[in-house]
Structure 1
């Protein structure tokens, strides 16, 4: 399996629509005639300025609360607007050359989903899995009713929903809670969708487990690389680059089979600027995710070093899913340095598209200092990370390299030829070799 050709150049700017436009939580909720979905299109130029090539949007379809309790997969959530607003979103993206990735919630539905209401009234209940005391739910959430993925009608339904929105202009699907859905279900659905849309891209939300086996059995193109996400922030916090090196070795094994979706933030986790104990290490995290193999995603607001802590309680996601201003100009006073760093590193990646499938190898490793080579047949970079109170100093010859050029870093000016590394305490550098 391989990604569609356009994915090699994909860098996603990801957002959670209901929070982004202030539609949830909101009391009272906005009405369709407010057309809040169009506010997202007003940010597309910002995404381009950042360097993104696609917009990964969270759930857009009619739901009861947070978007993941869908009641109608064919209707835009009325708190966001209507079909015309979706068409506007697609048209504005297309005019800028931006791809659009939709969020498909196909593991479960909300309690107001039409067929579930019929089942409760004594009608056909074959669309839903059975539990010990009635219908099965998703991870114990009473408002999320698990679909019966063995039922041919459910297979047909999901195929039709996917095709409906791809025909309307979407480029692919994030498959929510894909880890909870039998692989054989996706293996039935996706080939039928690809028959009409061979260039569509499908990424499954998978947290734990055997990523390679999941991709092979389900036929998804990619999965979310949560293993690496965890290793990035915890190795920086703990001063334990051995954990990161192990994760990157695993990541290399994944790249032999598929290209994972990489990230340091999304709508389900504490923001990286809040997760890291030392704010000087945010640059390290970003340098990592933008210099390794993968299809990177930047969560809206991270480029301005937004803070937000996810909590395990009702409403615990709200802090990481805030409302954004109507226009980017109203938020430009936030995080200029973080934004410029994102721009620079995304620009570096776009100039080296071979990074999409590049693999890493450790050249120097101890708990608090790490130097790795990332490369392919098309080129190579050296990345040096230092979270120690002492500088990282060594000649490139010690690493088996004659000379290089600094192309990014926390302390030294870029585009300077070097024959040795001199990375400041809690600094980092990227060297073209």
Structure 2
């Protein structure tokens, strides 16, 4: 019997009669360029390496590629410390190489989305170097957030604010002033009250749009604008303030003045450029970012925070489809990305908690810190089985799906990285207590042998474990039981089945089984429990694990027609 809460999520009354914009239900494949493929044998992935794998990307059946930052960077934060927003890091290639990449992907029907990092620059950016040289009260310093210190001779920071990566959010410069950095010391926050900052990012958006970029992913989209009126609050006062659009530091209503201007830029192109916000905000405020007047779409990270649990998954889907309906946009679904523990590992760990970005936590003294999933705690088989089921569940949902490189191979988090080879600033600023994000950024295995499993001819910038051989593309390619084959077939089927943004829940008769119907008479059924579930009707089209006759095993999803 169908659930009476039938959800119909469409842009307008004739959404099912017209072909909607590609991004509403598109599949976007995230590439972390430095760890995808290395064409010049320097141990670092590059643009030419991505071009060389264009046929592989086409074989997946994706609609778009999202490139994490490829700009010039000192790599203090994996490329999110940008030294020049309108160029390519010379270690990764040139602008001509980027143009070749756009042409290679476009010729295969794949769109290109790039990362924009507007909250902060690198301390190597020309603006920041100019600010340091220009000194107090200069126009150059107005582009950033400089303040005088407190205490004797201004030797103490302006406030006790804490950086996202640990330690003070303020850093002192040679002339005694302090600058704000909500992330790493090497990432000074920009001052979005300053007109030149706003104008320069409009120039950047046009620069990449003119080169054929189809869309933008906006990093920490909720943090740009700030109210730093004196007296500045303490960290405790900041933490106690409601996040209702008037908070001094995050999710301010006035940030949408910035995005309204950006929307005018996007809409000046034919077709309009797309944008998706990375906005860690209260659910009720997500539609502000996803509205047609703002960025147009916002990431939904709730599945990153959910356990492999039917009740949690259903609440996430229900809540986010309603949010999408409120904004007139479509929802986004994400299970893994460059900032979180891979979902194959999350689902195989018994850790009792997760942080705000869904990473499993472990106990360190009196605090919970991010876990890297160290064996033998990890149940690798169970995690992989549940990851396949969750992926097939996600790909059946209305809205757009984001896939992180390597999840189509079933890759787990790499925990066994020596401290001497780690790169994430969170690892060092926590003095090793927090494993950081290196484990999901290890270069991909393309072959089951060689110095870097086919990533490049001279090793990789992060160490790859021996077990990567079992997950190599060469080993999974053509194997009907592999995760790669599952993703390719699911994406092929999804393209023909996603004709509407409707979803209808069907009561399964069990709390640990979710069942829903999509257009064209097809259904998705996921058994989150251990006991097999009888399939009383429908023809199986694809399943995340082998079916047992007419029974759906535990930790398995099936699509039925």
Residues 199-278 of structure 1 aligned to structure 2 (within 5 Å): 199-209=272-282, 210-216=285-291, 219-231=294-306, 234=307, 236=308, 240-256=309-325, 257=327, 258-277=329-348, 278=382
Cα distance in 1 for residues equivalent to 2:119 and 2:509: 42
Residues 299-314 of structure 1 aligned to structure 2 (within 5 Å): 299-309=404-414, 312-314=426-428
Tell me the C-alpha RMSD between the 2 structures.
2.9
Residues 50-89 of structure 1 aligned to structure 2 (within 5 Å): 50-65=60-75, 66-89=78-101
* Residues 26, 399 of structure 2: 8 Å contact kept: no
Residues 185-196 of structure 1 aligned to structure 2 (within 5 Å): 185-196=258-269
* 1:400 corresponds to: none
* Residues 310, 514 of structure 2: 8 Å contact kept: no
Q: Which runs of 5+ in 1 are unaligned?
A: 396-402
Gap change, CA 1:29 and 1:340, over 3 Å in 2: closer
* Residues 321, 330 of structure 2: 8 Å contact kept: no
Q: Does 1:423 align with 2:552?
A: yes
Cα distance in 2 for residues equivalent to 1:324 and 1:391: 35
* 1:358 corresponds to: 502
* Residues 297, 330 of structure 2: 8 Å contact kept: yes
Q: Does 1:391 align with 2:532?
A: yes
Aligned length: 401
CA deviations on 1:122-175 (whole Å, 9 max, x unpaired) are 142121134635222124x21111111222211111111011011111111011
Cα distance in 2 for residues equivalent to 1:151 and 1:344: 50
Instruction: State the 1:77 CA deviation.
Output: 0.8
* 1:406 corresponds to: 540
Instruction: State the 1:351 CA deviation.
Output: 0.8
Instruction: State the 1:4 CA deviation.
Output: 6.8
* Residues 187, 217 of structure 1: 8 Å contact kept: no
Secondary structure (helix, strand or coil) at the match of 2:30 reads strand
Cα distance in 2 for residues equivalent to 1:216 and 1:165: 23
Gap change, CA 1:241 and 1:148, over 3 Å in 2: same
* Residues 255, 293 of structure 1: 8 Å contact kept: no
* Residues 50, 343 of structure 1: 8 Å contact kept: yes
Q: Does 1:381 align with 2:533?
A: no
Instruction: State the 1:76 CA deviation.
Output: 0.7
* 2:163 corresponds to: none
TM-score (norm 2): 0.66
Cα distance in 2 for residues equivalent to 1:211 and 1:386: 30
Q: Does 1:371 align with 2:514?
A: yes
* Residues 70, 109 of structure 1: 8 Å contact kept: yes
Q: Which runs of 5+ in 2 are unaligned?
A: 1-10, 13-18, 148-157, 159-169, 171-177, 225-254, 349-381, 416-423, 429-434, 455-471
Cα distance in 1 for residues equivalent to 2:189 and 2:34: 23
Cα distance in 2 for residues equivalent to 1:270 and 1:380: 35
Using the TM superposition, name which of 319-328 and 248-257 deviates more.
319-328
Cα distance in 1 for residues equivalent to 2:446 and 2:92: 14
Gap change, CA 1:373 and 1:4, over 3 Å in 2: closer
Residues 148-163 of structure 1 aligned to structure 2 (within 5 Å): 148-163=191-206
Secondary structure (helix, strand or coil) at the match of 1:248 reads helix
TM-score (norm 1): 0.84
Gap change, CA 1:218 and 1:150, over 3 Å in 2: farther
Greater radius of gyration (CA): 2
Using the TM superposition, name which of 7-16 and 220-229 deviates more.
7-16
Match of 1:345 among 490, 497, 517: 490
* 1:20 corresponds to: 36
Residues 297-336 of structure 1 aligned to structure 2 (within 5 Å): 297-309=402-414, 312-314=426-428, 316-324=436-444, 330=454, 331-335=472-476, 336=479
